[in-house]
């Protein structure tokens, strides 16, 4: 059996036909940028997460960059974020000319509020929590810290569209929140796309301008920016997929529950608190034998992924700064492994993956493994 981590082809003919219909409408009306589908998508997404405004942009990275810019964050400012994320999170901060300050994580792979507190300085302007693997951060404590220290909160909800905590959706907590709709994400376009949400009219207005070269009325430029607009084609594709998102998340949760059951006592499986509803953007296990397990799975046709093997402060682009002390992140990044768990995977495939994980641990005692890994 061959099991890819995630296949982006669409074998289902009906699904392809629906997408082509959405594309056909856009080609017929010809408003290829900022078309009517974008507005519809924006209003769906803002309603969905309970925010007043949504601004569609070209990617999740753009969303983060513009969200920070809309708050006036820039040179001389510090933004506290996690040490474990896709590098886009740090890049968005650095490209505003602010400094990303990396904090440690807890066992749930999310920002540790205690570590955030330790990193607050006179220059800190904002906290940028990432809802990693689709699990919402400890927003209660983070919002409390932000309020006490008068900091903005920008949620990187790229992986968490549709996740909930205490009845609130990812993206509902911060001054601003950013989603990515790239093809790997749960609510995915057929290319790059992202969305920013906020309740603040002033930020919304500034975002509309920042999205298009810092212009108002198309020709008047009030501040330098980039062209970050979303293609109407991608908006139309997202709109046509929007209604399926809850079912896809339900399916991912079902897959996660199968894995939890089959892998219990073999590896550390992801946990969920009573008030959490995780989307399982990734199903991420933890084991000390991670590298050997990954190899073993590959030799049995199973593609797994380490997301992400290099902590952001350890990236060549960032490790010129003074060393960052994140002991938990350093420990956890060696243990994490994401298994194939997209909504398209079948129960038979889940059982096969789980059986291979089990066989790996049964085959060799830990001591043998330690020897063979040096």
To ligand PLP, the closest distance from the beta carbon of 56 in angstroms equals: 12
Cβ nearer to ligand PLP, comparing 182 with 209 = 182
59 is an interface residue for ligand PLP by CB under 6 A: yes
First to last CA, the chain: 30
Cβ nearer to ligand PLP, comparing 179 with 296 = 179
8 A C-beta contact, residue 354 and residue 263: yes
Cβ nearer to ligand PLP, comparing 188 with 354 = 188
To ligand PLP, the closest distance from the beta carbon of 86 in angstroms equals: 4
8 A C-beta contact, residue 227 and residue 71: no
Site string for ligand PLP, 115-154 (x = CB under 6 A): ---------------x------------------------
93 is an interface residue for ligand PLP by CB under 6 A: no
Exposed, middle or buried by CB within 10 Å (0-12, 13-18, 19+), for 363?
A: exposed
User: CA dist 247 to 59, 60, 141, 361, Å?
Assistant: 24, 23, 31, 34
Question: Contacts with ligand PLP in 172-231 (CB under 6 A)?
Answer: 180, 182, 192, 194
| Of positions 56, 60, 174, 313, contacts ligand PLP by CB under 6 A | 60
Give the CA angle between residues 212, 89, 83 to the nearest 5°: 165
160 is an interface residue for ligand PLP by CB under 6 A: no
Angle between helices 13-29 and 232-242 (to 10 degrees): 140
61 is an interface residue for ligand PLP by CB under 6 A: yes
Q: Are strands 176-180 and 152-156 parallel, antiparallel or unpaired?
A: parallel
91 is an interface residue for ligand PLP by CB under 6 A: no
User: What is the rounded CA–CA span in Å between residue 45 and residue 43?
Assistant: 5
To ligand PLP, the closest distance from the beta carbon of 89 in angstroms equals: 5
Cβ nearer to ligand PLP, comparing 178 with 354 = 178
Cβ nearer to ligand PLP, comparing 231 with 289 = 231
To ligand PLP, the closest distance from the beta carbon of 8 in angstroms equals: 14
8 A C-beta contact, residue 270 and residue 297: no
Cβ nearer to ligand PLP, comparing 289 with 307 = 307
Alpha-helical regions (H) of 188-244:
201-210, 232-242
User: What is the rounded CA–CA span in Å between residue 36 and residue 31?
Assistant: 8
Residues binding ligand PLP (CB under 6 A): 59-61, 85-86, 88-89, 130, 156, 158-159, 180, 182, 192, 194
């Amino acid at each position: 059996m061959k099991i890819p981590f995630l296949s982006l082809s669409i074998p289902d003919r009906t699904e392809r036909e629906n997408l082509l219909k959405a594309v056909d409408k856009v080609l017929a009306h010809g408003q290829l940028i900022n078309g009517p589908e974008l507005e519809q998508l924006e209003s769906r997404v803002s309603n969905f997460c309970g925010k007043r405004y949504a601004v569609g942009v070209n990617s999740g990275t753009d969303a983060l960059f513009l969200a920070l810019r809309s708050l006036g964050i820039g040179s001389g400012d510090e933004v506290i974020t996690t040490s474990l994320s896709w590098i886009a999170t740090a890049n968005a901060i650095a490209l505003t000319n602010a400094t990303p300050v990396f904090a440690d994580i807890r066992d749930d792979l999310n920002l540790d509020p205690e570590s955030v507190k330790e990193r607050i300085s006179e220059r800190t302007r904002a906290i940028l929590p990432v809802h990693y693997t689709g699990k919402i951060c400890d927003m209660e404590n983070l919002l409390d810290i932000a309020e006490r220290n008068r900091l903005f909160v920008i949620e990187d909800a790229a992986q968490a569209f549709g996740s909930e905590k205490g009845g609130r959706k990812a993206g509902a907590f911060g001054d601003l929140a950013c989603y990515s709709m790239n093809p790997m994400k749960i609510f995915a376009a057929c290319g790059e796309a992202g969305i920013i949400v906020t309740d603040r009219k002033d930020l919304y207005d500034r975002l509309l301008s920042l999205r298009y070269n810092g212009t108002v009325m198309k020709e008047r430029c009030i501040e330098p920016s980039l062209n970050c607009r979303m293609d109407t084609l991608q908006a139309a594709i997202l709109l046509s997929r929007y209604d399926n998102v809850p079912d896809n998340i339900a399916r991912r949760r079902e897959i996660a529950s199968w894995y939890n059951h089959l892998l219990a006592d073999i590896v550390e499986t992801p946990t969920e608190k009573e008030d959490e509803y995780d989307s399982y953007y990734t199903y991420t296990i933890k084991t000390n034998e991670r590298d050997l397990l990954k190899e073993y799975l590959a030799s049995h046709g199973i593609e797994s992924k380490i997301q992400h093997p290099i902590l952001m402060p350890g990236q060549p682009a960032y490790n010129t700064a003074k060393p960052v002390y994140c002991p938990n992140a350093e420990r956890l990044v060696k243990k994490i492994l994401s298994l194939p768990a997209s909504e398209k995977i079948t129960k038979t495939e889940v059982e096969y993956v789980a059986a291979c994980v089990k066989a790996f641990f049964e085959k060799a005692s830990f001591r043998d493994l330690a020897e063979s890994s040096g």
